[in-house]
Structure 1
Amino acid sequence: MTVQHKMRQEIEDVVGSGRLPTLADKPKMKYCEAVIHETLRFGNIGPLSLPHLVSEEIVYNDLYIIPKGRRVCPGESLARMELFLYITSMVQRFEFLPVEGENPPQLIQ
């Protein structure tokens, strides 16, 4: 069974086919969440983005302290929620197949 079929089965078990997935379904859809998380990890574009850390603590205008260490993008949680809704809705409604006569692209590791 392919990843797509396993995702579709989980979506069918939790959501059914009469409605689209919602964020309330997310805690019950561990496999779909794991696939999305692994896809983001595997396709990491981190080297192309700006750093989210400072090398030492910074005090700005004697009012604000920016601590040393990694911070996350404020929109990351919104983007992850949107991605979950988009991907699960697409997998629920469509079957993704390679072009007829061609194999799917190979993963480069």
Structure 2
Amino acid sequence: MKRVEKVGEESNINKENLIKAIGDLFAGGTETTSTTILWTILYFLHHPDKQTRCYKEIQDIIGSGRLPSMKDRPSMPYTQAVVHEVLRIVNIGVFGLPHSVDEDIIFHGYHMPKGTVVIPNLDSVLSDDKIWGDPDVFRPDRFLDENGQLVKREEFIPFSMGRRICLAEYMAKMELFLFMTTLMQRFEFKPVDPDNLPTLKGVFGITHAPSKYEVRAIPR
């Protein structure tokens, strides 16, 4: 930015756009990450066996004497699979951001003139029973192969796809891994009333968030 200003070139690399870009990253990354963490804890209340399995992996790889780091991530496929399954089953964004067609095209028999606004329905892929078999079931193992290693699924598109994929995808995955492993390392999450679990029905707003619920966070 300083180089462009020094030579007097006209460019979009300026302070105004820098501030807006950073604001977008913070807003997008904070809201979606915190909401995903809330969903993950909620699903742990409904599936305590999944929480136990994650904690075992944390103890095997990290232990309790230090904080998790990104170097641990490749060695923790099940924890990654849990995050993937939460992102898939709840689909924080539901719809992708609006795009526009840059030229007249025919797509599956539909004529789309140049400039047509297109909003991708991500949920139609992430909850398709032809792809996932049992999309309404919380099953992290669907992202693991026969050797227990993480599998990259082409249909896993919670951050959209293509050249306009979510800019904060890698930052979000990093945050989710570090926050969730640290929380699970330090706390066990249990329901306030085991006979009356919080609903898994979400609330639609800027993101698809869980309904408000209470949880017991018990120090390990």
TM-score (norm 2): 0.40
- Unaligned runs of 5+ residues in structure 2 are 1-47, 104-160, 202-220
Higher relative contact order (CA 8 A, sep 6+): 1
Q: Secondary structure at the match of 1:2?
A: helix
What residue is the counterpart of 1:62 in the other structure?
Answer: none
Identity rate of aligned residues, in percent? 48
Is the radius of gyration larger for structure 1 or structure 2?
2
2:172 aligned with 1:79: yes
User: In the alignment, which residue of structure 2 is the partner of 1:66?
Assistant: none
Structure with bigger strand share is 2
Tell me the CA shift for residue 72 of structure 1: 1.0
User: 1:43, CA displacement in angstroms?
Assistant: 1.0
Matched residue type, 2:101: S
Counterpart of 2:63 in structure 1 is 16
Aligned residue for 1:46, secondary structure, equals coil
Indicate whether 1:93 and 2:186 are aligned.
yes
Alignment coverage as a number of residue pairs: 96
Q: Quote how far apart the aligned CAs of 1:54 are.
A: 4.0
Instruction: Please give the alpha-carbon distance, in whole angstroms, between the structure 2 residues aligned to 1:101 and 1:28.
Output: 33
How many angstroms apart in 2 are the aligned matches of 1:100 and 1:46?
Answer: 30
